[in-house]
Amino acid sequence: MHVIIGGAYNGKRKYIAKQLEGQAVDWCDDLQHSNIENEHAEILVITDLEKQIEPFLNEPEKEVAETFFYKIVKNGFKYKSIYVIIEDIGRGVVPIFSEKRKLRDVLGRLYQLLFAESQTITRIWYGIPQKIK
């Protein structure tokens, strides 16, 4: 597993698309209904976790994070490698709405699990990569 992290609109997808250019890649923005388009794809790229987690924010933080972590791992079984693109949202002002605070908390927990699991972590800053693991 490889993690790509960075702020919003920093060129994370553009960077990974370029890295994987010419290879058969499945892009997945919905783990519930993963529609696998390419039978021969060896690489899975997972995006939009922020959006997918939103409906589950009433459930306990740790459970939601773990459930999503296992979903990611399970979806990745048939691939040689998985790339997970995640948005760093933990550095702003503490949001006034509890839902938004909860989203940051759950994502933070999930990111910790992903960081521990992955072989490489790359931070993207306006298109420039920095290996942090």
Q: In the bound complex, what is the minimum distance in angstroms from residue 10's beta carbon to another protein?
A: 6
Q: In the bound complex, what is the minimum distance in angstroms from residue 116's beta carbon to another protein?
A: 22
DSSP 55: G
Q: Which is nearer to another protein, 71 or 104 (CB)?
A: 104
CA distance linking residue 20 with residue 104, whole number of Å = 29
Q: Which is nearer to another protein, 15 or 69 (CB)?
A: 15
CA distance linking residue 51 with residue 49, whole number of Å = 5
Q: In the bound complex, what is the minimum distance in angstroms from residue 60's beta carbon to another protein?
A: 20
Q: Which is nearer to another protein, 55 or 90 (CB)?
A: 90
Distance of CA 24 to the CA centre of its chain: 19
Residues contributing to the site for another protein (CB under 8 A): 7-11, 50, 87-93, 95, 100, 103-104, 125-128, 130
Give 121's strand partners: 3
CA distance linking residue 69 with residue 65, whole number of Å = 6
